[in-house]
Structure 1
Amino acid sequence: MLHKPQTKTPNAIDIHVGSRIRLQRTLIGLSQTTLAEGLGITFQQVQKYEKGTNRVGSSRLQAIANILGVPVAWFFEEGPGGSSSPLEPEPGAGREITQFLNSVEGLALNRAFVKIEDEKIRRKLVNLVKALAKEASE
């Protein structure tokens, strides 16, 4: 009996880790090419990691973490199949943040917001956004 080769679907954890790589890379304004050069690989390989198509090995993930300035554990936060302790937020509690920061608008807003040095202005801006969101839902 001949078996058709099955297309391999990416594992949910590989997809999550890849999306976290992309998120942190874009947050710090690093291109796929620059990250690839730092790792000694092609940007296409970085694309495959970010899509979850290719699994990231442990030594490579450590190198990515070093370049992106985050601990390795950060890539697994809020991921599928993770366990949470009573002190940690519920699984999925930060998915909205990840989705927001993966959007063009969210990334631009975040970059602009962190440049505001005055804490009072930042608080006022948060209150304004909350008021606008409340108006939009009414």
Structure 2
Amino acid sequence: MEDPDTILRRNAETYRQKNDDYGDSWRLVGKTLALWLEHAGVESLSLPANEDTMNSLGLFTRRMDKMIRAFNAEFVVDELNFESTADAHEDESTYSAMHASLLRENETITFENNGPVIDPLYEAAYQDLRENGEE
């Protein structure tokens, strides 16, 4: 049985290796979200405490972690300790698909019929036919 000290030392090494890959992405995510809100003129954010909203927020966080990791892998570090650069991109796309799926679950689709769609090339002839009752 491992004692807490052994587990914590191993976790500290994992943290160092992952932080080499991700950088301080856990801090950058917060800074990025705050910057987006500031740019939009939002000083305070109040979120509904429901499952969908919390899932959406969590997925944004996971996606941003993966994007930061992919960026670091491509442009900053020479070699990753864990996954490949492609893995980071694939992970982000998976979280993106999950996010889209979550939003689509509650999406209402409506269709509007705004009348016939007429090629502008034939618009004048169509209007002429309508005016002469030959539609």
Q: Which TM class, normalised by the smaller chain length?
A: under 0.3
- Flag the structure with more relative contact order, 1 or 2, with Cα contacts below 8 A and sequence separation at least 6: 2
Per the normalisation by structure 1, the TM-score is: 0.26
Larger Rg: 2
Per the normalisation by structure 2, the TM-score is: 0.26
* Structure with the higher helix share, 1 or 2: 2
